[in-house]
Copies of this chain bind each other. A is one copy, B any other.
Amino acid sequence: MNSEICRTSFFLLTVALSGGESAAGLGSDFLRAEIQTYAPIVQKIFKYVVDGGYKNVTYDSLADFTDRFGSRLAGTRNLEDSIDFILEKSEELGLENVRGEDVQVPHWERGFEAAYLLSPRKTEIKILGLGHSIGTPPEGLTADVVVVDSFEELERLNSTNTDAIKGKILVFNEAYVWYGVTVEYRGRAAVEAGKYGAVATLVRSVAPFSINSPHTGSMNYAENVTKVPVACISIEAAEMLRRMVDRGSQVTIKLIMNAKEYGPETSRNVIAEIGGFSKPLEQVIISGHIDSWDVGQGAMDDGGGAFISWHSLIVLKNLGLRPRRTIRGILWTAEEWGYVGAKEYLNRHRSDLEKINFVMESDGGTFTPLGLEVAASDAAATIIQEILNLMGYINATQIKRYKSVGSDIELFINEGIPAASLLNDNERYFWFHHSEGDMMTVQNPQDMDKCTALWAAVAYVIADLKDPMPRR
């Protein structure tokens, strides 16, 4: 059904348009006609993945993988073992150009860590140290607590008394607004604490809901600012400490963190492909990241995204669907350390960037898929909407447009490459994110099937369209 007869060059047509008529307007009739020819192929993918022989495979294999390896912090042997496993399986399953590309990644381990409230009463406070945090002295450190709800409150407190923070454990009890905003507290807390002379800082977990669950994540130190240990505490604990301080109690905590930075290690971006039949040098990238934090199983962040990408390749391979362009699956390493794998990829493949037609990453949950989040020009978005109109079978026809989408692929978007992430019903994503709750229980086999089917279908159609996806 890959007939070229019905297709025409949308890209050339829209370029030829004069100002009065919108690009989407005139072009979309031709575009629609071309894209409509893919309806039977999309149906074939859906039938196979959602109701046929591939039903439950994505979920079952992710469960096997995460049960086998657990969490996969970049820098650990465990991640490398899990990468070997994926490489071997990819070869076995007949994927093409299977390889790992070396990446130097940080190696940090949290070791033993604990916090004990000593006053006004004795109890343990659950913590999760943040990645790259320094440790405390081996015997721990004990200090009184100061609590602020915001950086502004911290400034005010320090401006009225420049000794207010000195020698203290600084607790941030910031309200959760949304992740992209509130995560600044996790990132900046250590620098702010160090700047004002705190001996350590504890940050309320960046999450909208909690069952006394701390969440880890990345943080930053700054040059010329004393480094202090930093960990997250639960929403419940942060609120409790705030109340205690507000009542005038002396609040004292003993903090022990054996966290330690080791030398860098070699990890790998995992690459496997379905080679294009007529334009093999042009690529559509589908991706997720294979590393995770060192808690839970990394089943959601980003086992789900990695596995729908990997299984999309296998599905297309099994169905004999080889598009014009190459579909390159990439499982990034060390995303959690700051897109380390993606940065290395970009450096290594800089001369190929022009050949990247479209880049996709799922790193925001693989719950019920609704469509795509898109960072692309109007013309590209129009094409993607037309493609999504084929996804009615699983009700995943929505498009949402953003300046940037995904995580690692932000780097590609900055290079002007059109991109998409998975739009899914991920309302509870940050309940589990970077916590012990990121386990297989959050995943659902039927939803994962739909995600894989959507992902495979979109990648295939884009990789097979006669003309490349228009850039900005």
Contact = CB atoms under 8 A, between A and B. Distances in A.
A26 interface: no
Nearest to A126: B436
Contacts of A403: none
A440 B240 contact: yes
Contacts of A210: 211, 437, 441
A208 to B, nearest CB: 12
Given A68-B121, A70-B123, A211-B210, A236 B439 contact: yes
B441 A239 contact: yes
A67 B211 contact: no
Contacts of A70: 121, 123
A436 B123 CA distance: 12
Interface in A209-223: 210-213
Nearest to A207: B211
A126 B439 CA distance: 13
Interface string A69-112: 11000000000000000000000000000000000000000000
A370 to B, nearest CB: 23
Nearest to A436: B212
Nearest to A439: B236
A437 B236 contact: yes
Interface in A261-305: 296-297
A431 B436 CA distance: 16
Given A211-B210, A211-B435, A440 B123 contact: no
Given A211-B432, A243-B67, A236 B441 contact: yes
Nearest to A64: B247
Contact of A439 (B64, B240, B296, B437): B240
Contacts of A211: 210-211, 213, 431-432, 435-437
A67 B240 contact: yes
A63 interface: yes
Interface in A189-238: 210-213, 235-237
Contact of A296 (B212, B213, B247, B435): B212
A64 B244 CA distance: 8
A40 interface: no
Contacts of A392: none
A120 interface: yes
A432 B297 CA distance: 22
A224 to B, nearest CB: 37
Of A69, A120, A211, A296, most buried by chain B (CB within 10 Å of CB) is A211
Of A212, A247, A431, most buried by chain B (CB within 10 Å of CB) is A212
A303 to B, nearest CB: 13
A120 B436 CA distance: 19
A126 B435 CA distance: 13
* 8 shortest interchain CB distances as A-B pairs: A211-B437, A236-B439, A212-B436, A236-B441, A211-B213, A212-B437, A211-B211, A70-B123
23 contacts: A67-B120, A67-B121, A67-B243, A68-B120, A70-B123, A126-B436, A210-B441, A211-B211, A211-B213, A211-B432, A211-B436, A211-B437, A212-B436, A212-B437, A213-B213, A213-B437, A236-B437, A236-B439, A237-B439, A239-B441, A240-B297, A240-B439, A240-B440
